[in-house]
Amino acid sequence: MFEVETPQRRLENLILPAATKQQINRLLTKITHQHLLYNEFGLSKIDPLGGRTAINLYGPPGTGKSFAAEAIAHELQMAILRINYAEVESKFVGETAKNIKAAFARARETGALLFFDEADSILGKRLTHVRQSTDHAVNISRSVMLLELDSFRGVTIFATNLASNYDTAFVRRILGHVEMPLPQTEERRRLWHYHIPDEMPVRLSSADWEQLISASEGLAGGDILNIVINAAASALEREGVTCQIVLNDFLTATHASKRAKEVIGH
């Protein structure tokens, strides 16, 4: 049910503000030097259950949370086991809790980093007014998740766009919470260059590049990737295989992306 993958993305290719990158590196140091910190630096005396190695990545869609999870796995030289709520949820009462247990068991068996995407669906607040069997099943699933997280000694990463929905019991069990913000000017510059391959027939002046960086304010790296793909397709449709992708192609796709966010939402 749960496939183990070899991570391909690397931390050095993750485009984030320096402070965010530093926070991730600090958490990696804690994980890789846990034995030293707890056994030689004495942290085990004040934190006897100090096996917390869960990281929470939160922020708007497209800001690199999945990329970061894969890059962290690569940095730790671990395989990655991706889990989303659709894979563990079941219409049969009680099956969701069993699937959560199965995911942790698979991670223990393989030594893989366990990555829960859209984690707010799994770590959400427990229901206080239980009216039907499905409500009871939700609370059981939350309790099972807490127990598994407490006993798991591997590395877990959660990613969410809605961290405010987390139950406080889960928040306390997470080693570090890393905000993945929308890119600012310098990060957008790097994202544009990262997402436009050298082979792509692009015709842009220095001023054009600056206009693109400015026009994409408020957009995430995932949005910029989609814009590049749409701009290339637009030029190809217009001119065929000998096309040149120009500023207007990118700006038109950028406007469409921003308009979609306004009308459809984030």
Tokens 């940095």 map to which residue? 75
pLDDT for the residue 92: 62
Burial class of residue 180 (count of CB atoms within 10 Å of its CB; 0-12, 13-18, 19+): buried
Q: Residue 223 is part of a domain; what is its CATH number?
A: 1.10.8.60
Residues 6 or more apart whose CB falls under 8 angstroms from that of 144 comprise 97, 100, 101
Residues 173 and 208 occupy one common structural domain: no
Burial class of residue 7 (count of CB atoms within 10 Å of its CB; 0-12, 13-18, 19+): buried
pLDDT for the residue 224: 97
Helix (H) or strand (E) holding 84: strand 80-84
pLDDT for the residue 195: 96
Say if CB 85 and CB 189 are below 8 A apart.
Answer: no
**Residue 58 in 3-state DSSP?**
strand
Nearest one of 71, 96, 73, 94 to 1, comparing CA atoms: 96
Residues 14 and 145 occupy one common structural domain: yes
Residues 141 and 225 occupy one common structural domain: no
Lowest mean pLDDT: which of 38-52, 211-225, 238-252? 38-52
Q: Per-residue pLDDT for 125 more than 90? A: no
Q: Per-residue pLDDT for 198 more than 90? A: yes
What are 144-175's pLDDT values in tens digits? Answer: 989 999 889 899 999 999 888 898 888 988 99
Residues 80 and 157 occupy one common structural domain: yes
What are 227-260's pLDDT values in tens digits? Answer: 999 999 999 999 999 999 999 999 999 999 999 9
Residues 105 and 69 occupy one common structural domain: yes
pLDDT for the residue 89: 77
Considering 179, 205, 238, which residue would you say is the last residue of a domain?
Answer: 179
Nearest one of 206, 204, 264 to 228, comparing CA atoms: 204
Question: Which residue range forms the structural domain that includes residue 104?
Answer: 4-179
d(CA 113, CA 157): 8
Residue bearing the bigger pLDDT, 39 or 15: 15
